[in-house]
Amino acid sequence: MPRYVIGDVQGCFEQLQQLLVLIDFKSDRDQLWFCGDLIARGPQSLQTLRFVRDLADNAITVLGNHDLNFLASLHGYGRVSAADQLQALQQAADLHQLAEWLQQQPLMHFNSQEQLLLVHAGLAPCWTLPTALSAAAEVSQSLTQNPALLFSQMYGNQPDLWQDAADEAARHRFTINACTRMRYCLADGRLELKEKGEVSANPDLIPWFEFWRHTPHPTIFFGHWAALQGRCDVEQIHALDTGCVWGNSLTAYCIESQRRYSVTGYIKQL
């Protein structure tokens, strides 16, 4: 069974379908792993969510920051802008069912047998893998048991270090930030959540994956960082967000063959 890891779709449903034609995807044979941010900013978030949900066991997805922000908005938190192009999803007759499905998706997916980790943003340098998985599972439990409380406490950049998370709300906020928003860290491993560029002019900012260059880690697949254009030279860490919604490309990586496939991204109509 071929498995393909796909970068941020962000509502670019047509490009996703083109990519699936390119890889000759068979829904009863192959499996798709999505790096999160299935929705927002592209024009067809509703179709994208329906499609991925209907793949059932032939799709694995983790939550991204745009996915969580949309879910938070349904509970009265967060803010969805017109640029997110989510009106059709917000007005869909099956909105409740789609949101319930999305809310059940994890922050991390880990294949322990093959040591494969799927996450939207990355693996925080102040975590061990067991700590990361435990923290992500705790957030998933809160998402299903008390989502309104989780979303009410989700926003903010502090704590920026796991060791400073003094209570449950702080642990959840750090975990969500690390799994869905992180790009750069400071030298001591603190999250820096403002800089988004590929190469920061600030020498104090270090891409999160550089901390794992000489440290044992699983094979990591991540999205979120479109400015990287799929480039990460740390062994066994694969960047998959190639900026489809910005008109660049949508990319899939085949785990079995270690090949990449790409189609041209979404071109906004003026």
pLDDT digit string (tens) for 3-38?
A: 999 999 999 999 999 999 999 999 989 999 999 999
The overall average pLDDT reported for the chain is 96
Is residue 255 situated within a structural domain? yes
> Considering its fold, how many domains does the chain have in total?
1
Cα separations in angstroms, 113 against 34, 130, 143: 19, 14, 27
The answer, yes or no, to whether residue 172 has pLDDT greater than 70, is yes
The answer, yes or no, to whether residue 200 has pLDDT greater than 80, is no
Is residue 7 situated within a structural domain? yes
Is residue 103 situated within a structural domain? yes
The answer, yes or no, to whether residue 249 has pLDDT greater than 80, is yes
Domain interval for residue 44: 3-264
Is residue 269 situated within a structural domain? no
Instruction: Check if the beta carbon of residue 259 is closer than 8 Å to that of residue 230.
Output: no
Is residue 97 situated within a structural domain? yes
Is residue 270 situated within a structural domain? no
What are the tens digits of pLDDT across the range 62-94?
A: 999 999 999 999 999 988 999 999 999 999 999
Cβ neighbourhood burial of 254 (10 Å; 0-12, 13-18, 19+): middle
Which CATH number fits the domain that encloses residue 93?
3.60.21.10
* Model pLDDT, residue 78: 87
* Model pLDDT, residue 188: 95
pLDDT band for 195, please (50, 70, 90 cuts): confident
Spatial CB neighbours of 227, under 8 Å, sequence gap ≥ 6: 196, 197, 198, 243
The model's pTM: 0.96
Which whole number is the average pLDDT over 40-46? 97
In percent, how much of the chain has pLDDT > 70?
Answer: 97
